[in-house]
Amino acid sequence: MAESTKSATLSIDGKEYDLPIFSPTAGPDVIDIRKLYAQAGVFTYDPGFTSTASCDSTITFIDGDKGELLHRGYPIDQLAGMSHYLEVCYLLLYGELPSAAQLEKFELNITHHTMLHEQMVNFFRGFRRDAHPMAIMVGVVGAMSAFYHDSTDITDERQREIASHRLIAKMPTIAAWAYKYSIGQPFVYPRNDLDYASNFLRMCFSVPAEEYEVNPILSRAMDRIFTLHADHEQNASTSTVRLASSSGANPFACIAAGIACLWGPAHGGANQACLEMLNEIGTPDRIPEFIARAKDKNDPFRLMGFGHRVYKNFDPRATVMKQSADEVLDLLGVENNPILQVAKELEAAALNDPYFADKKLFPNVDFYSGIILEAMGFPTSMFTPIFALSRTVGWISQWKEMIADPQNKIGRPRQLYLGETSRDYVDIENR
């Protein structure tokens, strides 16, 4: 718990209240208002909680003005460029980079938990074939609590550990099977001789009729997508997981709640919206028209995948993702894919236009991840499930941190009530 070294004074109707101020290791100071209602009889009003710290955390730090994203103090571009997803998972879960022996043990543990209980196949078959993969993921992840009773007691540290490993291990299988089910192909079981990203690609794209070899460039690009989406501080879905867990709900229910929140187009659907925009543009010759529209204040059109709500300068994840996008497009080519042609030329046009530089509207991680996933052959309906797969470790890390916090209490936001005051019931014949 942070120590208060200074205070702020709040004056209400001539009466003053001293409020402690906490200074973080990075970021702005935080005013402690926990006793404000008890002392002054007032609440604070902050729709969207954009100025409210709901917890203290040691996991992820973002400085949007500087374009900085740190996991346990390590810059995201270093992790994505020099590490890999399961090592980053270990870092987020345990706070430090693992030794070689620790990483080997962790990877082995995750690899040997990738299979699903065979009876869970029935859950997939209960959905219509045209069900969105996110609908399937919400249902199946929530249903895991009905199969894994030895890891639902949140008061047991060992059970929390088992649940954490199971979720990280099984999420690629769940996402891949949701995809296979939606296209009418048989489920492909995981293989223990493949790395995390390669296993996922094989489960998505292989078929029993022929051998499937995972290209290492595609596997590396997939691993980077996982890494760059692993955690992003107290965003909407992470806050949802924390709020759900504050009631004592089991870990599978909490992660299912996070998936449901991520499904929203304002959160997890950004790279899908980017691809839909590229489809709307259609051909490279129409790019000048759409750039002009983006500059027109009276036109509702906006370039998706450019700029970011949090990062006011540049998205630190985008540089690494651009490298992967270039590698994937060089490997697969863009000649026969007009959407990828549009993406490449739109990127070049925007980066060379002073208007976008002045507005700091640089391509973000969603722009490049959408291009990569499109080039690999994923339909846009799978973009958000892949995001959920990636973010699972972040949700779990935040969940574990909250459960272990002695200050943990059930979330109970307040409101500014503007409805009717107390009134008497009137019989229906007198209304």
Residues ≥6 apart with Cβ < 8 Å to 188: 176, 180, 202, 203, 204, 206, 207
Q: What CA–CA distance (Å, rounded) separates 122 from 141?
A: 13
CA 361 to chain centre: 21
Q: What is the CA radius of gyration of the chain?
A: 24
Single out the catalytic residue among 71, 195, 308, 315. 308
φ/ψ region of 29 (left if φ > 0, alpha if ψ in -120 to 50, else beta) reads beta
Do the bridges between strand 68-71 and strand 60-63 make them parallel or antiparallel, or are there none, so unpaired?
antiparallel
Residues ≥6 apart with Cβ < 8 Å to 271: 305, 366, 367, 369, 370, 373, 383, 387
Concerning whether 366 is annotated as a catalytic residue, the answer is yes
Concerning whether 267 is annotated as a catalytic residue, the answer is no
Single out the catalytic residue among 77, 223, 315, 366. 366
Q: What is the DSSP letter of 367?
A: H
Q: What CA–CA distance (Å, rounded) separates 283 from 287?
A: 7
Measure Cα distances from 299 to 158, 263, 293, 296, 329 in Å. Answer: 55, 27, 6, 5, 32
Q: Is 248:409 a contact under the CB 8 Å cutoff? A: no
3-class state of residue 213 by DSSP: coil
φ/ψ region of 13 (left if φ > 0, alpha if ψ in -120 to 50, else beta) reads left
- For the annotated catalytic residues, the residue numbers are 308, 366
